A and B are shown apart, each in its own frame.
Chain A
Amino acid sequence: MNTVRSVISVFLLVLLGLSAAGWVWAGGQPSPKLEGARTMLALCGLMAVGAMAILWRAKDEVPAE
């Protein structure tokens, strides 16, 4: 179980990192849609964190023999 959630977490951390990078990048853009862009990037980051919390809180319930 730990192997599977570790692999998934790598993907989620990449997503989280790019969302954070996007947040910084968007702040330097003269776009009128800045708030919309940052809202979406914040939601991506929050979803990635939430998913990791769900994955790492799960218990491995091995069926009884």
Chain B
Amino acid sequence: MSSSTVCRIDSTGPQMSLMGKLNGPWHKYSLWLYTAVVLAHWGEHLAQTAQIYLLHWPIPESRGVLGLWVPWLVKSELLHYAYALVMLVAFWGLRTGFVGRSHTWWMIAFWIQFWHHIEHALLQGQAVFHHNLFGAPVPMSILQLVIPRVELHLFYNTAVTIPMVIAMFYHMFPTPGEESHHNCSCSWHRRPAVAV
């Protein structure tokens, strides 16, 4: 067996940093958890758009699934900002586990999420200071001047999720050259791990 095709999983001993573990032996589980959180968030967005576009509910009453029972969840700018920040931190924290094509796509998702997070920070700032931009009755992000909020954030989430999904797909199915640089067990065709 060529050494270039061996998937290396470093020791999980105490000498390994948290970032090393997150991007090494824990990478697969971190990505599973992250994907579950992202899909739960998407479930809310898809439910909301289905309520508006298919069921023709009024927009203020289209609050996804959890928002029907807990309306403040949808209205809380703090919650939206916190989610955007968690995504940004996760993108950054899990980036070194990706190599080759998957790293390129992961970083595209990161930079789009960076702008998405700026927009949510702007909304959160208006909510904190009780002063809305452009004299609007509700907090407004920059692009909301020309695009309704529902469609704008559907677009933002799509623009972040698609490169993220492509990155994960390439990470699961790497070329042999990329796999030789993996320190995790994410590859679908992973060779038996050897400790180094």
Q: Spell out A's residues near B (CB within 8 Å).
A: 1, 4-5, 8, 11, 14-15, 18-19, 21-22, 24-26, 31, 33, 35-37, 39-41, 43-44, 47-48, 50-51, 54-55, 58, 60-65
Contacts and interface: CB of A to CB of B under 8 A. Distances in A.
Which of A44, A50, A60 has the most chain B CB atoms closer than 10 A to its own CB? A44
B155 A40 contact: yes
A47 B176 contact: no
B151 A37 contact: yes
B173 A58 contact: yes
Contact of B148 (A4, A36, A61, A62): A36
Contacts of A60: 173
B46 A62 contact: no
A5 B152 CA distance: 27
Interface of B: 1-2, 5, 42, 46, 49-50, 52-54, 56, 143, 146-148, 151-152, 154-155, 158-159, 162, 165-166, 169-170, 172-176, 179, 188-189, 191
Nearest to A46: B158
A21 B150 CA distance: 14
Given A47-B158, A54-B166, A22 B49 contact: yes
B152 A63 contact: no
Chain A binding surface SS class: helix
A51 B165 contact: yes
A63 B151 CA distance: 42
Contacts of A61: 173-176
Contacts of A24: 53
A4 B169 contact: yes
B162 A63 contact: no
Nearest to B105: A54
Contact of A14 (B46, B175, B188, B189): B46
B176 A63 contact: yes
Given A4-B188, A22-B53, A65-B1, A44 B158 contact: yes
A31 B144 CA distance: 13
